[in-house]
Chains A and B, each alone.
Chain A
Amino acid sequence: EDQVTQSPEALRLQEGESSSLNCSYTVSGLRGLFWYRQDPGKGPEFLFTLYSAGEEKEKERLKATLTKKESFLHITAPKPEDSATYLCAVPTTNAGGTSYGKLTFGQGTILTVHP
């Protein structure tokens, strides 16, 4: 069964204090890994797609990386507006390796950045 585990559950940072969020996964065949940002009461906002180990993507203060077992979301010099819940997700595949659109989400990391 596909599993996604995120850590830590919550992270409090001071403005400018860089850190990383972890997403470890167990899937039969990775067909991509997605990172989303979600603000309270709103829908998840797409951030990144990573497909293969060694891949990296960047957007402003965020950088996502992928290994064969986990993904990291690095936050450099965060600002209070980066406070949100960060979700990672992987496509759930059947025994034949085909995904039919279902995503397995981690429980999320709640990030709070204090000024």
Chain B
Amino acid sequence: DTEVTQTPKHLVMGMTNKKSLKCEQHMGHRAMYWYKQKAKKPPELMFVYSYEKLSINESVPSRFSPECPNSSLLNLHLHALQPEDSALYLCASSLYPWTSGGVNEQFFGPGTRLTVL
């Protein structure tokens, strides 16, 4: 199984709502990532989880709250978002988060298209 799954595929929310995005992988990967992608731009890293612990937070606003309940699951909790947060949110995983030698590739999920009204 070489797949990263994400739910929901689409999400529309108001600025006062609370919602969550879910990501799952069963490849035994120990690193998981959240990215944000705006139209015609490359993905931008938001968070990195290494062995279920948050290792990188790219200065993301606190209205985005990540959670890693176990090695296969990654959540992104959303609260009080702004319209400019509308984007494609991507989850990815890799076998290990880092090595001092070669770096292992990241596998991406299909994404959640988020629209904030």
A residues near B (Cβ < 8 Å) are: 31-32, 34, 36, 41-46, 49, 51, 87, 89, 91, 97-103, 105-108
B108 touching A32, Cβ below 8 Å:
no
Specify which of A43, A89, A101, A103 is in contact with B50 (CB 8 Å cutoff): A101
A34 touching B42, Cβ below 8 Å:
no
B109 touching A101, Cβ below 8 Å:
no
Specify which of B4, B42, B99 is in contact with A99 (CB 8 Å cutoff): B99
Q: Closest approach, in angstroms, between the C-beta of A48 and any C-beta of chain B?
A: 9
Specify which of B42, B101, B106 is in contact with A31 (CB 8 Å cutoff): B101
CB-CB nearest in chain B for A49: B105
B59 at the interface (CB under 8 A from A): no
B102 touching A32, Cβ below 8 Å:
yes
Measured CA separation A36–B105 after assembly (Å): 10
Q: How many residues of B contact A (CB 8 A)?
A: 33
B108 touching A31, Cβ below 8 Å:
no
Given contacts A49-B105, A87-B42, contact A100 B111 (CB under 8 A): no
B108 touching A97, Cβ below 8 Å:
no
B98 touching A107, Cβ below 8 Å:
no
A98 touching B113, Cβ below 8 Å:
no
Specify which of B45, B94, B102 is in contact with A51 (CB 8 Å cutoff): B102
Given contacts A87-B42, A101-B50, contact A42 B110 (CB under 8 A): yes
A97 touching B100, Cβ below 8 Å:
yes
Q: Closest approach, in angstroms, between the C-beta of A89 and any C-beta of chain B?
A: 8
B94 touching A101, Cβ below 8 Å:
yes
B111 touching A42, Cβ below 8 Å:
yes
